[in-house]
Amino acid sequence: MTATRRLTAPGSGKETVHFEVSLAGSGLVYEVGDSLGIFPANDPAEVDAVLAAAGLSGNEVVESAGANLRDVLTRQMTLREPSRQLLAAVLEKCPEATELSELIDPEAKSVMEDWIDGREVVDILRAYPQANFTAEELVKVLRKLQPRLYSIASSPKAHPEAIHLTVAIVRYELHGRGRQGVCSTYLADRVKDASMPVFIHSAKHFRQPEDASVPVIMVGPGTGIAPFRAFLQEREVLGAPGKSWLFFGDRNRSTDFLYEEEINAWCAKGVLHRLDTAFSRDQVEKVYVQHRMRENADELWKWLEEGGYFYVCGDASRMAKDVDEALHRIVEQAGGKSKEDAAAYVEELKKTKRYRKDVY
């Protein structure tokens, strides 16, 4: 990690951070549109809490993992959602804990899901100290820690041997306790200027058009801006002749306009031809990127009819669905099509790979 810069200004309710990672000597190469996979490490304080609750020191050797228990808990296991296997193992060791038998019943999946919500491995170990797991037994019933993906926010043509990321740091309160996202806080609080294990996740489905003269429409609110910053860097280096249009949104213009100066500079230089912003909390009514799309329906339709590519990046749960809905309505209204014909038009955009998504 070579640089860290907070993108949201003081007073913002969000902590969105720009990270720069050097690839020098790694042999890794990437293309615009790819993501960086990161293997995070757990917070040492959380590892200490689990060790204390389990009555173990951390120096125990875990033969199956080829490391001592502290290292295994730090690098290889998730300390978050307890697994069914952990509960079953506790029940086996503590037959008096009959409340667990209902939870691990495969027929009662939803009971288990409700109960487990917000509970962590340490909560189970604290509740049943008499379980007395050995280090091997404990590791066997924990889930594997998974790597996290981050859309790359830089172009290798502009930044050879470097990768930039745009990360929303996850911190929240649940059941009266502060919680933190494993990987985003690993990046923000723990890596510092050291090295970290990473891989490139190739995203052939999210490349720029092969023909650099066709228009691109990019919808990227919040951290969804990341790959479009990479697109624009690359378009600037290559002098791409096609038109480009960015829809960006976040909470407040004064604190959350990520990469504002760079984006304005691209507008001034003619790298970015159109910019529409939606700051959702600057007024009483919510304004989102899809509202800006709808306001510019005729122009957006024109760009699509000129062979434009439509890109969306960011939140999958609500934003991408609403943007998709807005796209359908635009094709229907500005394109003068029936609901069915508009759906067929959008389907065709997907089939011909002119509608590309990178959502999470």
Ligand X SMILES: NC(=O)c1ccc[n+]([C@@H]2O[C@H](COP(=O)([O-])OP(=O)(O)OC[C@H]3O[C@@H](n4cnc5c(N)ncnc54)[C@H](OP(=O)(O)O)[C@@H]3O)[C@@H](O)[C@H]2O)c1
Q: Should residue 318 be labelled a site residue for ligand X when binding is judged by CB under 6 A?
A: yes
Which residues in the 56-115 window bind ligand X by CB under 6 A?
none
Least Å from the CB of residue 248 to ligand X: 9
CA atoms within 13 A on the CB side of 202: 4
Between CA 85 and CA 326 the distance in angstroms is 44
- 331 binds, options ligand X, ligand FAD, none, Cβ within 5 to 8 A by partner type: none
Q: Should residue 168 be labelled a site residue for ligand X when binding is judged by CB under 6 A?
A: yes
Question: Of residues 49, 182, 312, 349, which one binds ligand FAD by CB under 6 A?
Answer: 182
**Coil, helix or strand for 61?**
strand
The structure tokens listed for 329 are: 């309505």
Question: Of residues 155, 249, 300, 356, which one binds ligand X by CB under 6 A?
Answer: 249
Piece of the chain touching ligand FAD by CB under 6 A; list 56-64, 174-182, 209-217, 340-348: 174-182
CA atoms within 13 A on the CB side of 181: 13
Between CA 196 and CA 74 the distance in angstroms is 13
Residue-wise DSSP of 127-171? H-GGG---HHHHHHTSPBPPPEEEEB-S-TTTSTTEEEEEEE--E
Number of residues that bind ligand X (CB under 6 A): 23
Between CA 161 and CA 200 the distance in angstroms is 13
Nearer to ligand X, 236 or 256 (CB): 256
Neighbours of 236 (CB within 10 A): 18
DSSP summary character for residue 222: G
Nearer to ligand FAD, 115 or 360 (CB): 360
Between CA 291 and CA 287 the distance in angstroms is 6
The structure tokens listed for 271 are: 């790298």
Piece of the chain touching ligand X by CB under 6 A; list 65-73, 140-148, 167-175, 296-304: 167-175
- 275 binds, options ligand FAD, ligand X, none, Cβ within 5 to 8 A by partner type: none
Query: What's the residue count for the chain?
Result: 360
Which residues in the 206-235 window bind ligand X by CB under 6 A?
221-224
Q: Should residue 166 be labelled a site residue for ligand FAD when binding is judged by CB under 6 A?
A: yes
Piece of the chain touching ligand X by CB under 6 A; list 68-76, 118-126, 230-238, 314-322: 314-322
Binding mask 10-49 for ligand X (x = CB under 6 A): ----x-x---------------------------------
Q: Which residues of this chain interact with ligand FAD, rule CB under 6 A? A: 35, 148-151, 166-168, 170, 172, 174, 181-184, 223, 226, 358, 360
